[in-house]
């Protein structure tokens, strides 16, 4: 009987040891984490099967220097064990630890945070680890998600926002019209450089100078023309890297000036047609009076001569209006068209 019990005990013991030998695996990210300066980041570290909290110890540390980042031990976080560089910035997700999630939240990322981190998980029997690399994104450039629409002759703003800890004076910002690589506007060495603009954009493209210290390098384009439509690129350069963002400009329909040209053209044509009606009526009346005079000749008088002079004056006035008004209207239309 004792032999049988010993066999059962040994069988359970060997099974338990086999299960423990299989152990647990700590999982982390497959790729480095790219983080923007000043942002927050989660460093993943987890196991598939939750571990007993009282037997659990989780250490986060720097792989390169061994600096302690955070510690979970004996069922609770140990912030007193943190290096001063991470105090108040690194923390566990406390409610997730019991589920096997030992990820670490790191706030307000600095340049010194770049590097390799190690998450080491211990239980009563064994330990396992994973490594997480943080890369710093020095420069973030954001454009517009949707195209900008503008009528010809209108003003439009193309957005470009730069988020960086690099001083503005050390930035170089170019606005390029990608079709032809035309330089639209340049900011360099802490100043606008309007003299570098391509001629067709000179006097029409400008930065919002008061917004530049805030990282706003949006482009204001005045008096939009048909040839302005297409892709623009905001290129930002530092000593370390170059990043760009794109913006699209689409011309939309007729502007107010276009409608003015159309209205003036229609008005000139309408006046020319309508003014023909009294002219034809006058010519027809003159013809009838002439026929009447030929059939009933009579001696002319001073009154008849005055009437004749009045008719001639009206005829001259009508002729002048027919010629001059359409010409004036069309001249104005052509002038506006040339401005557009």
Q: DSSP states of 226-282 as a string?
A: GGG-EEEEEEEE-SS-EEEEEEEEEE-S--HHHHHHHHHHHHHHHHHHHTHHHHHHH
Strands ordered across the beta sheet of 156-158: 156-158, 219-221, 205-207
Kindly state whether residues 83 and 150 are assigned to the same domain.
no
Question: Among 131, 143, 216, 163, which Cα is nearest to 36's?
Answer: 163
Q: What are the tens digits of pLDDT across the range 44-60?
A: 999 998 998 888 999 99
Name the residue with tokens 């100078």.
209
Q: What are the tens digits of pLDDT across the range 310-328?
A: 555 666 666 676 667 777 7
Kindly state whether residues 331 and 236 are assigned to the same domain.
no
Kindly state whether residues 192 and 228 are assigned to the same domain.
yes
Kindly state whether residues 239 and 295 are assigned to the same domain.
no
Residue 151's pLDDT is: 80
Where among 191, 220, 251 does a domain terminate?
251
Q: Classify residue 14: in a domain, yes or no.
A: no
Q: Classify residue 236: in a domain, yes or no.
A: yes
Kindly state whether residues 79 and 171 are assigned to the same domain.
no
Kindly state whether residues 224 and 320 are assigned to the same domain.
no
Q: What domain range includes position 262?
A: 256-339
Ranges of the chain with pLDDT below 50? 1-3, 5-6, 8-21, 299-302
CATH number at residue 27: 2.60.40.10
232 phi/psi in degrees, rounded to 5: -115, 150
Contact 199, 182 (CB under 8 A): no
Name the residue with tokens 């890297």.
241
Kindly state whether residues 69 and 97 are assigned to the same domain.
yes
**120 pairs with which residues across the strands?**
59, 129
183 phi/psi in degrees, rounded to 5: -75, 115
Q: Classify residue 17: in a domain, yes or no.
A: no
Q: How far apart are CA 215 and CA 220, in angstroms?
A: 15
DSSP, residue by residue, 5-53: HHHHHHHHHHHHHHHHHH---EE--SSPEEEETT--EEE--EESS---G
Where among 195, 225, 251 does a domain terminate?
251
Kindly state whether residues 120 and 144 are assigned to the same domain.
no
Kindly state whether residues 225 and 288 are assigned to the same domain.
no
Residue 106 host element (H or E): strand 104-106
Where among 113, 137, 161 does a domain terminate?
137
Q: How far apart are CA 132 and CA 306, in angstroms?
A: 108
Kindly state whether residues 232 and 145 are assigned to the same domain.
yes
Break the chain down into helix, strand, coil percent, rounded to 5. 40, 30, 30
- Does pTM top 0.75 for this prediction? no
State whether residue 186 is helix, strand or coil: strand
Q: How far apart are CA 264 and CA 262, in angstroms?
A: 6
Q: Classify residue 1: in a domain, yes or no.
A: no
Q: Classify residue 314: in a domain, yes or no.
A: yes
Kindly state whether residues 54 and 126 are assigned to the same domain.
yes
Kindly state whether residues 121 and 178 are assigned to the same domain.
no
Using alpha carbons only, give the angle 58, 63, 65 rounded to the nearest 5 degrees: 115
Number of domains in the chain: 3
């Amino acid at each position: 009987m004792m032999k049988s019990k010993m066999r059962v005990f040994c069988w359970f013991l060997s099974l338990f040891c086999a299960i423990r030998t299989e152990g647990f695996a700590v999982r982390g990210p497959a790729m480095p984490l790219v983080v923007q300066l000043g942002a927050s980041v989660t460093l993943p570290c987890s196991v598939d099967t939750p571990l007993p909290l009282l037997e659990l110890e989780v250490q986060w540390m720097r792989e390169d220097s061994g600096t302690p980042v955070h510690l979970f031990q004996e069922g609770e976080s140990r912030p007193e064990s943190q290096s001063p560089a991470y105090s108040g910035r690194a923390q566990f997700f406390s409610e997730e630890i019991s589920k096997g999630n030992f990820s670490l939240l790191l706030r307000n990322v600095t340049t010194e945070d770049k590097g390799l981190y190690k998450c080491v998980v211990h239980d009563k029997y064994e330990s396992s680890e994973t490594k997480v690399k943080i890369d710093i994104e020095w420069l973030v450039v954001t454009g517009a998600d949707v195209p900008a629409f503008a009528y010809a002759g209108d003003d439009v703003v193309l957005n470009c926002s730069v988020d960086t800890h690099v001083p503005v004076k050390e930035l170089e910002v170019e606005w390029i019209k990608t079709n032809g690589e035309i330089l639209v506007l340049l900011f360099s060495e802490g100043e606008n450089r309007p003299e570098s603009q391509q001629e067709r954009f000179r006097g029409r493209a400008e930065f919002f100078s008061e917004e530049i210290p805030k990282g706003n390098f949006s482009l204001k384009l005045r008096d939009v023309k048909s040839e302005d439509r297409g892709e623009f690129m905001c290129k930002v350069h530092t000593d370390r890297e170059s990043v760009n963002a794109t913006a699209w400009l689409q011309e939309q329909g007729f502007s107010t000036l276009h409608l003015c040209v159309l209205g003036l053209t229609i008005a000139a044509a309408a006046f020319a047609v309508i003014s023909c009606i009294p002219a034809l009526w006058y010519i027809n009346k003159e013809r009838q009076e002439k026929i009447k005079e030929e059939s009933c000749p009579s001696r002319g008088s001073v009154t008849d001569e005055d009437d004749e002079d009045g008719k001639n004056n009206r005829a001259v006035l009508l002729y002048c209006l027919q010629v001059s008004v359409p010409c004036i209207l069309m001249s104005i239309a052509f002038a506006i068209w040339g401005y557009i």
